[in-house]
Chains A and B, each alone.
Chain A
Amino acid sequence: MDLGFLAQFFVNGLVLGVIYALVAVGFTLFFGVLDVIKFSHGDVLMLGAFTALATYLGLSDIGVAPGVALILVFVAGIAGMAFVGAIVCKFLVLPLRGAPQLNTLLITLMFGTVIRESVRLFYPSGSNPKPFPKLLPDNAFEFGNLTLRLDSCIIVLLGILAIIFTQLFIQKTKFGLAIRAVAQDEETARLMGVNFKTVVLLTFALGSALAAVGGISTGLYYQEINFAMGLMLGLIGFSSAVLGGLGSLYGAIAGGFLFAALQTVGAVWFAVPAYKDVFAFAVVIMLMAWRPTGLLAERNEERV
């Protein structure tokens, strides 16, 4: 195969990988602090994209310049989803702490359904796919058979920046320290004066904000969003996070890129490209059999 096409496949996979990693990091954050899976994550992503779209439409009505609009769109999406994330945490996740973990999974899943259905029903003709505005410069660079578009590059860069920011936040700030403390040992952290509730709420806000970034990136990349897009992205993000090892930030990132790579390889490899998802999920199952707690999980001796 021509090198240019190979590079093209690599670039396609890279953009997917960044989006998956953004979703996976959210899953891993929630799991880190509370040991729960918040399955409405994919739908929060979708809601983020729709919030951004609505903001853009509102702004363009009053004639705001596209550059400013881009920033405001991100701000609205991120702030909105951070708020939704905190709300979900406060009213659906924290009250269920005593119940079996699966109840949390189910309640957030149902909340995801509620978000999805609400967008479908209450967003104007929400059941149709919506065009997402082209807010990024779409200059294209041709290198032989490789077409590199500026917007794809910006999306990749943006995603990586968001993840680096999260990493720095967790490693370098006092709040990040509190998050890590809670993740390590909740009770000790409480004893040390960490405000548990605030930390958890903030983590959920942070993770959901990342989902918003993922959602807007998806919109900017595909130039189309629809009410059902969150379901599959959520599943893939969850798979990526688990594949990498729940609770591990690097694991989630690695998982996201690995999943994108599997899909891309599958699409090139099989005569019928649609087999790529079958291939990717089959490999996930096999990898899990090989490394039962994910690729980069901490080794955890079980105490009796």
Chain B
Amino acid sequence: MNKVIVKILLMAFLATLIGCSDSSNKVKITFIGPLTGGVSAGGLGGRNSAELAVRLRNASGQSKYSYELVPLDDECKPNIGVQVATKASADPAVIAGVTHYCSAVAMGTVDIYHKFGLPVIVWGAVLPDITYANDYKEIHRVNGTMINQNEVAANFMVERGYKTWAVIHDTTDYGKGHNEYFSKSLSPLGGKILGTFAVNAEQQDFTAELTQIKRLNPDVIYFGGLAPTGVRIRAQMEKLAMDQVFQGTSGIVSDAFIEGAGDLAEGVLAFREGAPTEKLPGGAVFIEKYTEANFNEPPEAYGAFSFAAANLIMDAIEKVGPDRIAVMAELNATNDHDSIIGKISFDDHGQNTVAVITKYVIQDGKWVVWEDSSYAAGAKRLTR
């Protein structure tokens, strides 16, 4: 009896073996970003944009290879990010990656990419250390860093006459980085930070922190963190009848913030590197194609960067073939490369220079560029 079963099993295994011959000879590119969880809106927008780039390339009929996007979910958690980055890097068919929206995750995974020699282009994470704290040739970034963002933010706010701040930041490298760079930019300008509150990104109740801030009575609450936490803080300020101006960072520039905060989003400020998508050199075309493709989610603030990164990778592969080392060298040599976000040039750390910082304010349920808003025109006024 035993033997019969064993024989059957062995035969079944042989059948499985034969069944799993590899048939695809597509060139794989991985996309890593948060596809689930609180900040998934940004991640899904990025994935769709990268997917769009791949689809357009495959449909163009002029490419030497046929491409396949392998989207992976890092859940905006460093440990999950390390896991999926390992998975992607360990697959020899994956030639390069468009990776990470969350700085906290990117900080954890750069070592993995270096270890496995997978060239990647960061499409959304803004912490400077991702490119500058190491000498890894594998790591590139098309979007700017948070340093310029906070310089512009501090200048702008001081010019508008605000004098005192309370800082709330989440305790990831992202939040800490914002706290650091904003404080650095603010102090020479004479702005004063009355209190700094480190909070847990998954915290639900902020009334205790906000009551403390109410005691300090600053003009502005600066928030360094991502949309879900920002929504909660904005909503609970209302509970305590606080009329401080809410100043956020690139992490809240997302439709999810407006959806979450509802009416309270009105008059919230935020700063982001790069021009708004519709004002980018190829922005109109990108938005048109994106709309045509009928994705379920909007491209969000960083979709254009993801699109550009995917195209940059495919251009490199077209030129030097699907080989990680050659692609990496090609990417490192990128100079004045045309893309929808403008010319891309990497410095010796693989960082693209993005000079423009856009100032946003939420007006009537939309992220509006400050200069175009009724606030700048004087028709509307911020709370303080």
Chain A residues at the B interface, C-beta cutoff of 8 Å: 2, 5, 8-9, 12, 16, 120, 125, 127-131, 138, 140, 142, 145, 147, 149, 152, 221-224, 226, 228-229, 232, 263-264, 267-268, 272-274, 276
Contact = CB atoms under 8 A, between A and B. Distances in A.
Given A8-B211, A229-B204, A129 B38 contact: yes
Contact of B208 (A120, A147, A221, A276): A276
Contact of A131 (B198, B239, B260, B297): B260
Given A130-B259, A224-B232, A274-B199, 11 more contacts: A12-B205, A120-B36, A128-B41, A128-B260, A131-B235, A147-B241, A226-B228, A229-B204, A268-B212, A273-B209, A274-B171
B231 interface: yes
A147 B36 contact: no
Contacts of A142: 241
A54 B50 CA distance: 33
A20 B259 CA distance: 27
Interface of B: 36-38, 40-41, 171, 197-200, 202-205, 207-209, 211-212, 214-215, 227-228, 231-232, 235-236, 238-241, 256, 259-262, 264, 297
Contacts of A274: 171, 198-200, 203
Contacts, number: 93
B38 A8 contact: no
B240 A8 contact: yes
Contact of A222 (B204, B209, B227, B241): B204
A131 B262 contact: yes
A9 B210 CA distance: 10
A224 B231 contact: yes
A182 to B, nearest CB: 35
A267 B231 contact: no
A16 B205 contact: yes
A273 B256 contact: no
Contact of A224 (B37, B198, B235): B235
Contacts of B238: 138, 223
Given A129-B256, A142-B241, A223 B235 contact: yes
B215 A2 contact: yes
B316 to A, nearest CB: 33
B200 A222 contact: no
B288 to A, nearest CB: 24
Given A145-B215, A224-B232, A131 B259 contact: yes
A127 B38 contact: yes
Nearest to B198: A272
A9 B211 contact: yes
Nearest to B36: A127
Contact of B260 (A9, A221, A224, A229): A224
20 contacts: A12-B208, A127-B36, A128-B38, A128-B259, A130-B259, A131-B262, A138-B238, A140-B241, A142-B241, A147-B240, A149-B241, A222-B232, A222-B235, A223-B238, A224-B260, A232-B204, A263-B208, A273-B212, A274-B171, A274-B200
Contacts of A264: 208
Contacts of B171: 274
A145 B232 CA distance: 22
A152 B231 CA distance: 19
Nearest to A8: B211
A142 B243 CA distance: 14
Contacts of A129: 38, 227-228, 231-232, 256, 260
A127 B260 contact: no
A128 B212 contact: no
A274 B168 CA distance: 11
A299 B266 CA distance: 56
Interface core residue of A16, A129, A131, A226 (most chain B CB under 10 Å)? A129
A214 to B, nearest CB: 13
B256 A128 contact: yes
A152 B38 CA distance: 26
Contacts of A267: 208-209
B239 A152 contact: yes
A128 B209 CA distance: 24
B197 A128 contact: no
A147 to B, nearest CB: 4
A151 to B, nearest CB: 9
A273 B212 CA distance: 10
Top 9 nearest A-B pairs (CB, nearest first) are A267-B208, A12-B207, A131-B262, A147-B241, A129-B260, A223-B235, A127-B40, A274-B200, A128-B256
Given A130-B260, A147-B240, A12 B211 contact: yes
Nearest to B200: A274
Nearest to B208: A267
Given A145-B215, A147-B241, A222-B235, A273 B260 contact: no
B109 to A, nearest CB: 22
Contacts of A228: 38, 202
B36 A268 contact: no
Contacts of B236: 222
Contacts of B207: 12
Nearest to A264: B208
